[in-house]
Amino acid sequence: MRWLRVPSPIGDLVAVADDDALRQLRFGGPSPAGEPSPADPVLAATARQLDEYFAGRRTGFDLPLHLVGSEFERAVWAELTRIPYGETCSYGDVARAVADDVGASRAVGTANNHNPIPVIVPCHRVVGANRKLVGYGGGLPRKVFLLELEARVQLTAGGLFAG
């Protein structure tokens, strides 16, 4: 495994990759064993795309991902990637999409909590009933930051702040 620490407005992110795909994106914490690998193509692309995202120049990611989880978790994570940039949906919406059962909302929350690649697999776009901000593995302040960043970029791109 190779890794790289990526500075961001929400704190350092640690990207971990195998030979051909991104496996994890962690919120800070200790560095993995070994030396960072800034020349690794997957990690270099991850750092570049994250920089562009936080600068408001990228609304989606084009990275090879290696997501390890249960069949249900992988279905939830795939559904998260379908939530458009700058939009949100509820845990119930995701549950209906992957299990045709709004009762699976708690299981969706658990899958979100197990998401190994937050930000890129956008679990921050999932909100509680009545659009209430609940739960985020990186902490609610990070979730609020990401949602506000995406909303601000959407408004700017829509011309509301054009000179």
Q: Which two tokens stand for residue 151?
A: 């909303």
* CA angle 8–9–13, rounded 5-degree value: 35
Q: Where are the beta strands (DSSP E) in the chain?
A: 2-6, 13-17, 22-27, 89-90, 126-127
Q: Are 108 and 95 in contact (CB under 8 A)?
A: yes
Active-site residue identified among 4, 10, 42, 123: 123
Q: What share of the chain is helix, strand, coil (3-state, %, to 5)?
A: 40, 15, 45
Decide if 123 is catalytic: yes
Alpha carbons 157 and 23: distance in angstroms, whole number: 31
Catalytic residues: 123
